[in-house]
Chains A and B, each alone.
Chain A
Amino acid sequence: MLELQDLRVSYGAIEAVKGLSLSVPKGKIVALVGANGAGKSTTLRAISGLIKAKSGKILFEGKDITNWPAQKVVKLGISMVPEGRRVFPDLTVYENLLLGAFTRTDKAAIARDLEAVYRLFPRLEERRGQLAGTLSGGEQQMLAVGRALMSDPDLLMMDEPSLGLAPVLVQEIFALIKRINESGKTILLIEQNARAALELCDYAYVLETGVVALEGPGKELLRDDRVRKVYLGEQ
């Protein structure tokens, strides 16, 4: 469904992604793990059109979408839960969700998806009139996920959805990702929480300073010695 070919992205003189290739098959959960600064967020930002790729290709359903503007990428069916949630603090929960559907025009379908998001997160429905900035961290994370779902994406990209959440909530978020995936959405997931991500995903890429160091089915990587040492902190 999504394919990156030799993608390179730089910030000025610093090259953050140095020839990355990966593919995300339809219906699967693919995880991107790696140390801080490995280039995970940069990769997602390039896919969603927030920064330009220097070279390489981004293909979605066979279509070359390299350096497309963000609004076209959303329309095509890719949405993102950005790193650090980034809900709009002085908009209400409801307004945040509505913005998630900004590119859509079918009112009935939007209303249906809003209902679905409220079913997924009853808490958001209770607080739909509340300013997003006054939600707790966990609630903001739910809102960020709900907002991304409101564009009815085929591919949902999540940048560290469990960041800063209490362990119980982390488990909930992972269960949720599974549910979203089972409802038919393909998922590209970035996680610091490598063990949970590898257990959940169908396939994973381990990034090191802008390149793929290792790849394979999640369960296999869990048994890999290097992964266990470096990313799972085992002896």
Chain B
Amino acid sequence: MTQLKIENLHAGYGSKMILNDFNLEINQGEMIALLGPSGCGKTTLLNALCGFVPASHGEIYVGDRVITKLPAEKRNITMVFQSYALWPHLTVAQNIGYGLKVRKVKTAEIQDRVNELLVIVKLEGLQNEKVTSLSGGQRQRVALARALAIRPDVLVLDEPLSNLDAKVRLNVRHEIKSLQKQLGFTSLIVTHDQEEALVMADRIAVLNQGKIEQLGTPEEIYRTPSSAFVANFMGAENHIEWQNDDNTLPAKSAQQIYFRSESVQVTVPSEKASSLSNDVHFDSDLTCQGHVLQSAFFGHHYRISVRCGAHTIQADHHSDLPENTPVTLRVTADALHIYNNQVETAAHHVPTSFQSNK
């Protein structure tokens, strides 16, 4: 069942349109991650949903209710702000109970609900603290509890983890996810961290310049990115432009090949280095020969940069390799993401298994 539906939404600031013809549907109880680079319009979308940025065109539905023109306080979509936006003059309990108090819920009932939420977000005993005395992670939980208190139709979270340090972030990430499973709220979470999106979301929408580039499950997005942008954004940092030398083609076409550093197999050939040419070969697999430029320790592997002709390729290797070591790199066909500059003409050169990737 569709809980939130965004239809042909146009929104922006003044005459500057950030979202042009935006469409998205979120099912009941689903968590969708909005993933995209800085400035692509993620916050703008959330603000448009919450009524802080007016929609100049299009409709937003919650269930079968149209909320496009409603003022912010009537939408029942709550937001966890990036800066948390907790009220410093109120206590933890007052912050969490605010939405209920506004709705004139009885004091005893508010207290019960607040206590229930304090348990859920693991802040028991802190109800009378001023929020200014809490740590970042604790503030984050208060913000979450405050937004959940009124049982919103949709919960939106704007980079909820970006202000936390790495370790706390991992914890809170899991907690939000398990809370979402346990309570079953419908949510839209903004992030620009691909790992966060993969771990937390049921589906991921990758945004680029105010448009959805691809919408799909984490596996789909990771394994079969639909465009060069998505592939690159999802961590396929190696890019090779393969110039087609097949003269029978009507126009000169180039193929954009993307792959991850962890899918590169590194071998050190036993022959003398001089017998190796610095070159890239692409048949159905990709093979390159080159020399190590540098190597960096990444914990459970080394990230080595290899110079192959005009390209520099990043590859993961289990051990350190000294500079200038000659190496052979191989990437198997199933780990390559290939996109054509001219989609029509170059199609025949793509192995059939990649046709769906276009």
User: Do A and B actually bind?
Assistant: no
